[in-house]
Chains A and B, each alone.
Chain A
Amino acid sequence: MMLQAAPNPLMKVENLVVEYSVGGKTIHAVSDVSLEIARGETLGLVGESGCGKSTLGRAVLQLRQAVSGKVLFDGHDLTTLKGEALRQMRRRVQLIFQDPIASLNPRRRIGDIVAEPLVIAGVKDPEERKRRVTEVLSAVGLDPALVSGRLPHEFSGGQCQRICIARSLVLNPEFVICDEPVSALDVSIRAQILNLLEEMKARYGLTLLFIAHDLAVVKAVSDRVAVMYLGRLCEVGPSEQLFARPAHPYTALLIEAIPVPDPDVRPTQSVPVGEPPSPIAPPSGCRFRTRCPRADARCASEVPELRVVAPGQFAACHHPLV
């Protein structure tokens, strides 16, 4: 597929399929998704709840086994690596979770929580571990002397997210998947954490996959954005271009639905588009067709492939807007 982000992408996902089976039924969580992320780039991934964003992230990290497809990290296919080789590769890829408070063990002290990846990676020297922990805690804006001995419940949601970010950075990873890192946070704290992620990216030379359901949040930090709907990719393109000229009707709907903080912009009466259908029995053809104002017979019979609609911009739609 023509999704070349750069000649030598750090992360390349090819035709990834992930399914869950529940009560004898198959949930099509991720269906035939391909993506590339260039070294030093932030790729934003947006879509509504349940569309498969977290599943994709977990499958990339090999926390969930894919049914088929490849995950090439720096040229190595993670889906075929095992044991020590996989562990070595995993050190270079880290994950920050959606719910900062729930992802910290309530009975362990902050210093130990942040040091844990070092222990697992086999860093034996306690002095070396302490040095790394002190460094990353300071980097995320916490005072190591003040926080190391305390327990997670003594911290606010925003501070817990700082701790999670510190933990994800302690092994010096190259690639970090941020799964809705600010969704659970208030407007004011959200801005602090987004700025922190940008700083960390610059300081440690990171490549990011940034997952969120809020388009404005995604745009703030992403070079390119991928839009997902019910397990499939709808559109991928450079952030500014995608927001200025969305090609996929679903991207347009998402943009229109954002509440604008300006009283002169009367909210357009949203099209009564209903809710996403079940991923157990996704619609035939284009999965968005049951909510799409442009759908026709072809959309029901033929799965739209991702095609170039503008330089660097790709959409999977039979009747794109551009």
Chain B
Amino acid sequence: MSSALLSVENAVVDLPTPRGNLRAVDHVDLAVGAGRTLGIVGESGCGKTMLSRAILQLLPKKAKLSGRVMFDGQDLTRLPAEKLRKLRGRSLAVVFQDPMTSLNPVLTIGTQLIETIQEHLELDLAQARQRSIELLAAVGIPAPEQRLAQYPHQLSGGMRQRVAIAVALSCEPQLLIADEPTTALDVTIQAQILDLLAREQQRRHMAMIIITHDLGVVAGRTDEVAVMYAGRVVERAPTPALFKQMRMPYTEALLAALPKLDVAPHTPLPAISGRPPDPTRPLKGCSFSPRCRYSAERCGTEKPQLSTAETPEHLYACFHPIAARVGA
């Protein structure tokens, strides 16, 4: 933990809403080291985006964050706005689900890249321009010189996401957070974008966080995975251990619900019944208990805490973890 580039310690995000307080992130601990990739997986609304915004210090104004976000030895929650702004873009970069959130629609691709580069690195216009062309080529954009003069709306969704990645990588960040970078894209484009991210991550020895709702996306491309449910991390493990010795009934259910190519057509899918609890009405016991097929009495009255399985790197929050039951 101590060697991690980023560590999130006991992070809580509260949002006031007309229905009352909404706890979007509930006591989350995470860490990721240089050159490593962490996957964060969970259903929509489970708090993935709020967590990444908490790391970046980009929460909505009304949100309240407590806990620490240690990045490269400093606590980002205590950094003055000016320092944070410098850090984002330079050392900390982000790619969002909708590339239009990262890109400015009224500026050309060239202007956006060159301005970002010049804001953070000491390069003159010609150098920054040259650097932009190299970056666009690196992310697989054909005819990069011509693209500099184009606007985001003149590109396809896949191209825009490539440009957003180029902008994010332009200042050699130490940490890249990709929040559902491929959810809006087709499978063939998704594979290309994920390859691109993996390649750049290795080449630059960056730390990377990939956020997704698809366990398939994290399986072959991360070192560690954190599964979130209702604002909390409910299971965390090195990727191979998560898939081979999953302990959390929720992780198991999420994986089982995915349609698979090696299953015959018309086989009923093991769906998870119901849906996640209303985040403004937190449950007393385990948040997954109304949908959990293993739920027992204690699950409804007491909250399971994250604790370790047989290895210290594998954590889960469940009273009746899977392997234990298989053995019994």
A residues adjacent to B (C-beta < 8 A):
48-49, 156, 158, 186-192, 194-195, 198, 213-217, 219-223, 239-240, 243, 253-267, 269-270, 272-275
Contacts and interface: CB of A to CB of B under 8 A. Distances in A.
A312 B69 CA distance: 59
Nearest to A273: B188
Contacts of A253: 188
A188 B268 contact: no
Query: Which of A215, A263, A274 gathers the greatest number of chain B CB atoms within 10 Å?
Result: A263
Given A261-B243, A267-B191, A273-B192, A220 B269 contact: yes
B204 to A, nearest CB: 18
Given A188-B275, A215-B261, A275-B158, A262 B188 contact: no
A184 B77 CA distance: 34
6 contacts: A191-B269, A195-B269, A243-B261, A257-B187, A267-B191, A270-B195
Nearest to B262: A243
Q: Interface residues of B: mostly helix, strand, loop or mixed? A: loop
Contacts of A265: 219-220
B219 A259 contact: yes
B220 A260 contact: yes
Contacts of A262: 219-220, 243
Interface string B25-49: 0000000000000000001100000
A269 B202 CA distance: 14
Contacts of A194: 259, 269, 271
Interface string B230-264: 00000000011011100000000111011111011
B87 to A, nearest CB: 32
B221 interface: yes
A217 to B, nearest CB: 5
Interface in B175-223: 186-192, 194-195, 213-217, 219-221
B265 A220 contact: yes
B195 A219 contact: no
Interface string B268-303: 111111010000000000000000000000000000
B189 to A, nearest CB: 6
A270 B268 contact: no
Contacts of A188: 43, 253-254, 257, 271-272, 275
Given A216-B260, A219-B261, A261-B216, A186 B191 contact: no
A266 B219 CA distance: 8
Interface of B: 43-44, 140, 142, 156-159, 186-192, 194-195, 213-217, 219-221, 239-240, 242-244, 253-255, 257-261, 263-273, 275
A90 to B, nearest CB: 28
Contacts of B259: 190-191, 194, 214, 216-217, 219-220
Nearest to A267: B220
B231 to A, nearest CB: 16
B187 A215 contact: yes
B275 A156 contact: yes
Nearest to A259: B216
B254 A255 contact: no
Contact of B261 (A223, A258, A270, A272): A258
A221 B140 CA distance: 36
A212 B221 CA distance: 25
Contact of B272 (A191, A259, A273): A191
A270 B220 contact: no
A188 B257 CA distance: 6
Given A259-B214, A260-B220, A272-B192, A222 B265 contact: yes
B238 to A, nearest CB: 9
Contacts of B244: 263
A54 B205 CA distance: 43
Contact of B187 (A192, A214, A261): A214
Contacts of A275: 156, 158-159, 189
Query: Which of B157, B258, B268 gathers the greatest number of chain A CB atoms within 10 Å?
Result: B258
A254 B190 CA distance: 11
A259 B266 contact: no
Contacts of B186: 48-49, 213
B191 A261 contact: no
A274 B213 CA distance: 25
Nearest to A260: B216
B188 A48 contact: yes
A265 to B, nearest CB: 6
Given A187-B257, A189-B275, A263-B220, 10 more contacts: A156-B275, A186-B43, A195-B268, A255-B261, A257-B190, A263-B242, A263-B244, A266-B220, A270-B191, A275-B156
A262 B254 CA distance: 13
Nearest to A194: B269
Contacts of B43: 186-188
Contact of A272 (B140, B217, B243): B140
Nearest to A266: B220
A204 B220 CA distance: 41
A213 B182 CA distance: 14
B220 A198 contact: no
A259 B190 contact: yes
Nearest to B238: A263
B265 A267 contact: no
A221 B240 CA distance: 30
Contacts of A273: 188, 192
A78 B71 CA distance: 64
Contacts of A267: 191, 194-195, 220-221
Query: Which of B190, B195, B261, B270 gathers the greatest number of chain A CB atoms within 10 Å?
Result: B261
A266 B268 CA distance: 28
Nearest to A268: B191
Contacts of B192: 270, 272-273
A56 B310 CA distance: 54
